[in-house]
Amino acid sequence: MHAALNHLLGIEPLHPSQITAILDLADSYVDFNRNPLKHTDRLAGLTQINMFFENSTRTQASFELAGKRLGADVMNMAMQASSVKKGETLIDTALTLNAMRPDILVVRHPHSGAVDLLAQKVNCAVLNAGDGRHEHPTQALLDALTIRRAKGRLHRLNIAICGDIAHSRVARSNLILLGKMENRVRLVGPATLMPTGVADLGVEVYHDMAEGLKDADVVMMLRLQKERMDGGFIPSEREYYHRYGLDGEKLAHAKSDAIVMHPGPMNRGIEIDGDIADDINRSVIQEQVEMGVAVRMAAMDLLMQNRTAQTQDTLV
């Protein structure tokens, strides 16, 4: 039996049944979110603090809406304007906020491992909203939910993850999740954008889109993470688009009903052709965003249920 989750720091520690439990609950929140009135008191009285040390549009908005729809009191810390700028360390900032007795901390940080470290110092539930190149668990979960709903299953699918794998926490979390659920994952991209040790990951690696996309059920594109590059990774954006940008010609190598995904923010004309991104028959990019709110509601709901169960255990 696996231990009940206290935090959501990555996909790595999750058991497949825990992944399925989050997705099943998220499915019910998708329906809930489609109602005109979307508010429950499940997390009423609880405090959620969002600490984003890196820019974010969709992830932060998604966590904020998720918390509000569950009835929590949600506070967004403007980290750019915080004491971090005065030299305070991450841990001191976290301890300060922890002393204000939040129940949930949602943290994004540019350094891999920073969120795990922080979780060891506080006594509330911590959710990783992306740490460096390490993990972005709620993104992988929302991608999994999108795939499961579009394809009717989350196993034995051919999934091509394409582009800047080396710098992408989205790729890493997805690779782990999709592997745990027994899919066939391939990585497609230039050798310069493959992570070191890629041969040990147990996945197929391609440097050619036509080969890598052949018979794919899912084509997952990634953003070029320029902020994590220090030059020399790609010859030019034009050349990159020519070889690795998803256009109709390259997509034709995938199955005729293959879905196209992108975590956003996307660079049209660099990783993906704008018309493909907007093609409602192929692209599920907007569904991914919709699933994001539901998955984050499910994850926070389950973490708080676990905490209540544990408190009751100690009282008995």
* β-bridge mates for residue 220, sequence order: 161, 261
**Smallest separation, CB 51 to ligand NCD (Å):** 15
Whole-number Cα distances in Å, 25 to 107, 216, 308: 22, 28, 17
Give me the residues that bind ligand NCD (CB under 6 A), please: 58-59, 130, 136, 139, 169-170, 223, 225, 263-264
**Smallest separation, CB 256 to ligand NCD (Å):** 28
Chain-centroid distance of CA 3 in Å reads 22
| Nearest residue (CB) to ligand NCD, 16 versus 264 | 264
| Nearest residue (CB) to ligand NCD, 13 versus 264 | 264
| Nearest residue (CB) to ligand NCD, 253 versus 262 | 262
| Nearest residue (CB) to ligand NCD, 102 versus 137 | 137
Q: Which of 180, 183, 182 is nearest to 2 (CA)?
A: 180
Answer for the pair 229, 188: CB distance below 8 angstroms, yes or no: no
- For residues 6-15, one letter each, b for 16 or more C-beta atoms within 10 angstroms of the residue's C-beta and e for the rest, the string is ebbbbbeebe
Q: Which of 34, 1, 48 is nearest to 299 (CA)?
A: 48
| Nearest residue (CB) to ligand NCD, 55 versus 120 | 55
Burial class (CB in 10 A: 0-12, 13-18, 19+), 156: exposed
Residue 59: in which H helix or E strand, if any?
Answer: helix 58-69
Closest CB to ligand NCD belongs to which residue?
Answer: 223
**Smallest separation, CB 139 to ligand NCD (Å):** 5
**Smallest separation, CB 87 to ligand NCD (Å):** 26
**Smallest separation, CB 136 to ligand NCD (Å):** 5
